[in-house]
Amino acid sequence: MESVAEALRADPAALQDLVDDAVVWASQHGLLVGAGLADPACATVHAPVALLPVPYPRETFLRAKAAALAFNAMVDAVARDEEYLSTVLAAAAQEDPFTARLLQVFRDTAAERHARRDQEGVLAVLRSDYMLHAPTNSLLQVELNTIASSFGCLSTLVSRMHAYLLGRLGAREAELGALPTHNAMDGIADAMGASVAEYCSAAGCSTGEAVMVMVVQPGERNAYDQQWLQTRLWERHGVRTLRRNLAQLAAEGRLGPDGSLTVGGHRVALVYFRAGYTPDDYPGEAEWEARCLVERSDAFKCPSVAYQLAGAKKIQQDLARPGVVERFAASAADAQLLRSFFAGLWGLEDLATNPDTQAVVDDAVAHPERYVLKPQREGGGNNYYGEALRDKLAGARTAGGAGLGAYILMQRIQPPVHRSVMVRLGQAVEADTLSELGVYSTFVRRGDRVLLSAEAGTLVRTKAATSDEGGVASGYAVLDSPLLV
């Protein structure tokens, strides 16, 4: 692969031909995002992509995939422990209104949740994100996403595009074999189909009668990744999807006396959230009422509020404390595996009283390049790095730690640098880059019965080495795939 890349660098015309091939392939095969235009709103452009796959160590890649089921079981156990969630998130809730409101929804809907405990319908679509840490040659977890785990469909297409492009370049069979295939698109759609089928079996309705409601943000540019799931859910399982934002769900949703949820007269078997993870998704009380409506219903939820809370940064940090992941893992072997991925993580709510916390904050102020400061937020663009981290911590330290309960401090991972060609809007830019691996997993549970637990595919996002953030939808990164070495 290095020889191919070198040849392209030496031949600008050949590089442009390959860029053109990539753009055409993406446009023909639905590897698309919204163009962000008001008129026409349906205008599209190819998704930002890496032109060629990034080299990735084979054994490390396989080890990350093998951990998926252990993470499934651990997250489910955390989400079912109401006392643990409430206790660990209490300090963050005191200083972060969004976490406090999610906890309030959790408490306000407890009666309905407890009444149907034996029949609770859970669908989890998780994505565990990792980076290679070059100084120790280890793989460390960046975060575990429990809500709106995006790009499963577009990542499926990127791996197919790379196989096509390598074939056009005359790659040898061994090189093509080093490009792992996956189908997160159908893996996630099949988990949705299994949830709807289980709901309908218990409710006495057919899968043709019930619908999935996909909760989305207005003006979503990443709608095509979402709509691939709608298409495959219909093609493979005959289940219709209704796209609604939270305000529309509040206006159209009705809860029956038996707990059944209807939207626009359609019985809802599954509510799948691709929104609801940021305060911006709740501009008024109607949106919070919609979230409560879903929680009180008998529909499968992806995720429930409990699962969303289980993915909070504060929970990630607390699980790394001695003995905690061991409490929730399915076995001692699982706990050992999960712990091996944990980076350094520190809570900050006890800065005023704990000498260990004071010491790590002092070190972060002195060496901000070694750390990342993270709030209880998803979606990219929220973290503190470098001088901004130093200023934030130094100011809070002077104030006795005020405001830090809503944050965690994390070791900054130092991944290896690769040379990549990134393509946006048809234009190629070559740069030093860093890559992040995501592993999807699906989990379906009814009461205490686990109906499905599976690893469901992978995602690689590549960004310029000079960029701190790594979101594709937020404009920092491109979609990529691994070439195993």
Q: What is the pLDDT of residues 388-401, one digit of tens each?
A: 999 999 999 999 99
422, 431 Cβ separation under 8 angstroms: yes
Cα–Cα distance measured from residue 184 to residue 227, given in angstroms and rounded to the nearest whole number: 14
- Please state, in angstroms and rounded to a whole number, the distance separating the CA atoms of residues 247 and 237: 28
143 labelled catalytic: yes
Could you confirm whether 313 is annotated as catalytic?
yes
Is 378 a known active-site residue?
A: yes
Q: How confident is the model at residue 174 (pLDDT cuts 50, 70, 90)?
A: confident
Query: In this predicted structure, what is the pLDDT of residue 473?
Result: 67
Taking the C-alpha atoms of residue 442 and residue 152, their distance in angstroms, rounded to an integer, is 11
* pLDDT value of position 25: 98
Query: Which of 374, 377, 390, 397 does the annotation list as catalytic?
Result: 374
Q: Look at residue 2 in the predicted model and tell me its pLDDT.
A: 63
The full DSSP string for 397-458 is: HHTTTTTGGGEEEEEPP-PPPEEEEEEETTEEEEEEEEEEEEEEEEEEEETTEEEEEEEEEE
Q: What is the mean pLDDT of the chain?
A: 96
The predicted structure's pLDDT at residue 471: 67
Q: What DSSP line would sit under 131-193, residue for residue?
A: EEETTTTEEEEEEEE-S----HHHHHHHHHHHHHHHHHTT--HHHHHTS----HHHHHHHHHH
Catalytic residue among 80, 127, 274, 445: 127
- Give the model's pLDDT for residue 468: 78
- List 65, 121, 143, 349, catalytic entry: 143
The residues, ordered by sequence, that sit 6+ positions from 37 with a Cβ below 8 Å of its Cβ are: 43
pLDDT of residue 126: 98
CA distances from 119 to 15, 78, 297, 412 (A): 56, 18, 12, 42
Tokens of 47: 């998704």
Q: Which of 461, 463, 470, 481 is catalytic?
A: 461
Catalytic hit among 30, 259, 264, 379: 379
Please tell me the predicted confidence (pLDDT) of residue 5: 73
Assess whether 127 carries a catalytic annotation. Answer: yes
pLDDT tens digit sequence for 236-273 = 999 999 999 999 999 999 999 999 999 999 999 999 99
Please determine, for residue 470, whether its predicted confidence score (pLDDT) is greater than 70.
no
Among this protein's residues, is 145 annotated catalytic? yes
For residues 304 and 294, give the distance between their C-alpha atoms in angstroms, rounded to a whole number: 9
Sorting pLDDT into bands at 50, 70 and 90, what band is 474? low
Determine if residue 323 is left, alpha or beta; phi over 0 gives left, psi from -120 to 50 gives alpha, anything else beta. left
Provide mean pLDDT across the span 319-343.
Answer: 98
pLDDT at 14 exceeding the cut of 80: yes
Q: What is the pLDDT of residue 472?
A: 72
Q: Which of 65, 274, 291, 313 is catalytic?
A: 313
* pLDDT of 7 higher than 80: no
Measure CA 451 to chain center. Answer: 22
Is 449 a known active-site residue?
A: no
Confidence of residue 367 (pLDDT cuts 50, 70, 90): very high
- Does the pLDDT at position 139 exceed 90? yes
| Rounded percentage of the chain residues whose pLDDT exceeds 90 | 92
> Of 150, 260, 420, 453, which residue is the catalytic one?
150
The CB-side HSE value for 209 (13 A sphere, CA atoms) comes to 10
In the residue annotation, 195 being an active-site residue is answered as: no
Q: How far apart are CA 85 and CA 304, in angstroms?
A: 13
- Reported as a pLDDT band with limits 50, 70 and 90, residue 4 is confident
- Evaluate if residue 316 carries a pLDDT over 80: yes
What is the pTM for the complete model shown? 0.97
The stretch 341-359 carries a mean pLDDT of 97
Cα distance between residue 422 and residue 428, in whole Å: 6
Q: Which of 198, 349, 378, 455 is catalytic?
A: 378
pLDDT (tens digit, 9 = 90+) per residue, 95-126? Answer: 999 999 999 999 999 999 999 999 999 999 99
pLDDT band at 144 (very low <50, low <70, confident <90, very high): very high
- pLDDT at residue 30 in the model: 98
DSSP state of 31: -
Q: Is the model more confident about 172 or about 448?
A: 448
- Residue 161: alpha-carbon gap to chain centroid: 22
**485 has pLDDT over 90:** yes
Instruction: Average the pLDDT over each of 37-51, 77-91, 305-319, 328-342 and give the range with the smallest value.
Output: 37-51
Q: Is 175 a catalytic residue?
A: no
Instruction: Examine the pLDDT at 61 and tell me if it is beyond 80.
Output: yes
Catalytic-role residue among 72, 145, 159, 297: 145
How far CA 321 is from CA of 6, 205, 222, 324, 346, in Å, comes to 46, 46, 36, 6, 9
- Cα distance between residue 456 and residue 369, in whole Å: 34
379 DSSP 8-state letter: S
Residue 138 has pLDDT above 90, yes or no: yes
Q: Would the pLDDT of 157 be above 90?
A: yes
Distance CA 84, CA 101 (A): 17
